[in-house]
Chain A
Amino acid sequence: MDIAIELNNIYRSFRNNFWQRPKEVLKDVSIKVQKGEIFGFLGPNGAGKTTTIKIITGLIRPDSGCVRIFDAPVNSLEAKKHIGFLPESPYFYEHLTGYEFLNIHARLGNVKDHKVRTNALLDRVGLSHAADLPLFKYSRGMLQRIGIAQALITDPDLFILDEPLSGLDPIGRKEIKDLIIEQKDRGKTIFFSSHILPDAEAVCDRIGIIIKGRVMHIGKLKEILKKGIKTDEITLEEWFVKQIRKTHA
């Protein structure tokens, strides 16, 4: 049980219409995320980050390959019990208030004392004052926070966060990063995708880099940065741009 997420030789392709040939979006993706680590999944737009996340959360199926969450088959209730998921640019039921939205997710996750837990989490993400407001009145930052709260509501062992930092102001980003680190300190595993590299650099234990559907590098940040580069004075962003240029060349 030391491995939280195990992806083995995942392939996935999509076709835009019936006449078109399927386009391979993921090619032989294999990733192992250790329990208790923060794993940053990085890549340019269209690299396959969201598709990988959708496969991990069971929203789509791989064409071939195997996915296990804490050793349980993906999409099983056992696997889902471990997962707290924040989708990219989340959309929520606009007719519900913040409290109602969170409470429904608590009940879906079989949370005991769901009312207490809902109020505690609203407080935790700083939305107690907006608990009775319908979600369509929430700002972008407030929606991201309520999204994080629904991921936390079942107190899962594994957080899968798709671009959790996008669209947030610096304060919002800092709060989410603090929250990610706080969860790691509680022994939780965090798998998150991002293309905001300095933020990923600040919190990740390990990173995986996906470019054009292929995982190019996995490892500790320092080790990856040192690969083939003689100076230590390089940021992840500089390294990343070099890698992408190399792949596109």
Chain B
Amino acid sequence: MHRMWAICENTFKEGLRQRILIILAIFALLIIVISVFLGPFALGEVPKIIRDFGLSAASFFSILIVIIIGSSLIKKDIEKRTIFTVITKPVRRSEIIIGKFIGLLFLIMIIQGMMTIIQQLVIFVFEGAFDPGILLALPFSLLEIMILLGILLVFSSFSSPTLSAIMGVVFYIIGHASPDLKLFADQSKMPAMKFIAYGFYYIMPNLENFNFRLELVHKLPLYADQLMFTVAYGLIYTIFLVYLAILVFEGREFK
């Protein structure tokens, strides 16, 4: 445990000190703040715009940060040979993977937390009260990030940062197109196409499961069983991906 936290702390500091992270975080905060200027175009829907735009911006920038940092999380250590002194210490390879996963996740949690605070402040300035209801979007956004981070860890364990980043984007796009993929599979008349579409639908993570922005912004009802299913789905998928990353990492050599 002690060793895993050391890896975790290192990953956190490494991410925190990357210039790109600071630029993205400032940019994301600015976007949330300027969302209020979109009010005149929203025909009296300012509160909804602030909420929807803020949540979307927070989610988008978190994903961007995960893809940029996560895609090189393992491979950079191998290419720069910084892994040599770490892996020869009495540490398990699984501890390295889990430590890196938690370290980057922790960093994203802090950035998301900052973005949420800014958004709540913007809401407070305009409406005279905070809106704790939309905070429910946060844990589900984190679950989505955990899945993406797991995917990036798997690819980063054996492929280049560029390929890992591309795969991250591909999984993100297909993951969000999952309901459309299902619809396409249902309606397709060609058996081969149907098979492929269903294959993708069942294998790729359905990231739309974690999107409750519409319900939260428009104050629509949310059901406990639906939320519990989403949490279980997110956790199981993440555990599977982290385990896969460990298996890949256990098998690799450092030439």
Contact = CB atoms under 8 A, between A and B. Distances in A.
B254 A108 contact: no
Nearest to B90: A80
B13 A95 contact: yes
B85 interface: yes
Interface string B87-113: 111111000000000000000000000
B3 interface: yes
A105 B254 contact: no
Contact of A110 (B14, B85, B90): B90
A168 to B, nearest CB: 18
Tell which of B9, B10, B80 has the most Cβ of chain A within 10 Å. Answer: B10
Interface string A57-68: 111110000000
A122 B9 CA distance: 20
A27 to B, nearest CB: 18
Interface stretch (A2-10, A82-90, A200-208, A237-245): A82-90
B90 A108 contact: yes
B7 A59 contact: no
Contacts of A110: 2-3, 90
Interface in A84-113: 85-87, 90-93, 95-96, 100, 104-105, 107-110
B129 interface: no
Given A77-B92, A95-B17, A90 B84 contact: yes
Interface in B59-96: 80-82, 84-92
Nearest to A61: B253
Contacts of A92: 82, 85
Contacts of B5: 107
B6 A107 contact: yes
Interface string B155-186: 00000000000000000000000000000000
Nearest to B96: A108
B189 interface: no
Contact of B89 (A14, A87, A90, A154): A154
Nearest to A79: B90
Interface residues of B, number: 26
A147 interface: yes
B13 A96 contact: yes
Contact of A108 (B14, B82, B91, B255): B91
A151 B18 CA distance: 27
A179 to B, nearest CB: 17
Contacts of A144: none
Contact of B87 (A59, A61, A100): A59
26 contacts: A54-B255, A59-B87, A59-B253, A80-B89, A85-B85, A85-B88, A86-B85, A87-B81, A87-B84, A87-B85, A90-B84, A95-B13, A96-B10, A96-B13, A96-B14, A104-B9, A105-B86, A108-B3, A108-B6, A108-B91, A109-B89, A109-B90, A110-B2, A110-B90, A147-B85, A154-B89
Interchain residue pairs A-B with the least CB separation, the first 5 = A107-B6, A108-B89, A95-B17, A80-B90, A59-B254
Given A59-B254, A105-B86, 18 more contacts: A14-B255, A54-B254, A57-B88, A58-B88, A59-B84, A59-B87, A80-B90, A80-B91, A85-B85, A90-B84, A91-B81, A92-B85, A105-B89, A108-B6, A108-B7, A108-B89, A108-B91, A110-B3
